[in-house]
Amino acid sequence: MAEEMKVNPQRAKQLAENLQSVVKTIQSSNKAGKNVRLIAVSKLKPATDILALHQPPTSHLHFGENYAQELSEKASLLPRSIRWHFIGALQTNKCKGLAEQIPNLWCVSSVDSAKKADALEKGRANVASSGETGEEKEKLRIMVQVNTSGEENKSGCEPNDTLELCKHIVEKCPDLKLQGLMTIGAIARSQATTAETENEDFMCLRETRDRVVENLGWKQEELELSMGMSGDYEGAIAMGSDEVRIGSTIFGERPARKDAKVVEDVGEAKG
């Protein structure tokens, strides 16, 4: 539990500085002055790193994880006040468990099929019926991941299939809330992105959003855009992103997946 987790004060200070510097860059890129949510992407990083940023002075709320097992472990160790985002490649057989077992799962950002939406709906519906207080339960937020770059190895639904999937979530999944659209985009385009050059992936996501809201009869601001990572978030914000997902700029380079540890070896850390 949290009290057994020792946050290294030097590491905590470094992480807080990194986060604050990202927050500043977000503010200066954000000419339109809208609210941009920052997800600190903590995949493959130890739980103590997350705890450090969730504590004062930063008291950061939103954290993103890519692997179901790792997210489950971290969620069970860390405070319930954290708002978890599942942003990784989503397997249909993991959906129900995720929605059911992590009460503070705030958003699933990587839904690209009706099957996955249905499985999440099933899991969330179970949470609903088990609530004893009778207060209205919060819906699980969903982002539809769109493959804007047309790369075969990228997950995400085709831009042209996005409306249909969005409609499915709105009409058939009462325990889910369609929150927005998410893209990762092609690395080459990301590397070419500056505050001045418009990234084609971000343009595609924006156009897809415009078509979806028009068809649903929603306002533009009712469907968020999740775009922008460490390498390209300034340009993404300039193009209207509502949410950026930043990992390495905050936490540093990630270890290989096989070397990652949720709980660090205390003996080793003491030296």
Give contact residues for ligand PLP (rule: CB under 6 A).
Answer: 41, 43, 66, 87-88, 184, 229-231, 245-249
DSSP 3-state assignment of 246?
Answer: strand
Q: Give the nearest distance from C-beta 128 to ligand PLP in angstroms.
A: 28
Q: Give the nearest distance from C-beta 147 to ligand PLP in angstroms.
A: 12
Question: Residue 123 or 185: which CB sits closer to ligand PLP?
Answer: 185
Q: Which residue has the tokens 């001045």?
A: 196
Question: Residue 16 or 182: which CB sits closer to ligand PLP?
Answer: 182
Q: Give the nearest distance from C-beta 133 to ligand PLP in angstroms.
A: 34
Q: Give the nearest distance from C-beta 38 to ligand PLP in angstroms.
A: 11
Q: Give the nearest distance from C-beta 88 to ligand PLP in angstroms.
A: 6
Distance, in Å, from the CA atom of 39 to the CA atom of 61, rounded to the nearest integer, reads 8
Q: Give the nearest distance from C-beta 89 to ligand PLP in angstroms.
A: 8
Question: Residue 148 or 175: which CB sits closer to ligand PLP?
Answer: 148
Looking at residue 204, what DSSP letter applies? H
Distance, in Å, from the CA atom of 186 to the CA atom of 149, rounded to the nearest integer, reads 6
Burial tier of 11 (Cβ tally within 10 Å: 0-12, 13-18, 19+)? middle
Helices 47-54 + 9-29 axis angle, to 10: 60
Question: Residue 126 or 155: which CB sits closer to ligand PLP?
Answer: 155
Please report, as a single letter, which amino acid is at residue 261. Answer: K
The structure tokens listed for 41 are 């992407």
> Are 235 and 195 contacting, i.e. CB atoms less than 8 angstroms apart?
yes
> Measuring CA to CA, which residue among 134, 91, 99 is closest to residue 116?
91
Question: Residue 109 or 208: which CB sits closer to ligand PLP?
Answer: 109
In sequence order, which residues have a C-beta less than 8 Å from that of residue 22 and are 6 or more positions away? 38, 246, 249, 250
DSSP 3-state assignment of 81?
Answer: coil
> Which residue number is nearest to ligand PLP in terms of Cβ?
247
Question: Residue 62 or 125: which CB sits closer to ligand PLP?
Answer: 62
Question: Residue 41 or 223: which CB sits closer to ligand PLP?
Answer: 41
Q: Give the nearest distance from C-beta 217 to ligand PLP in angstroms.
A: 29
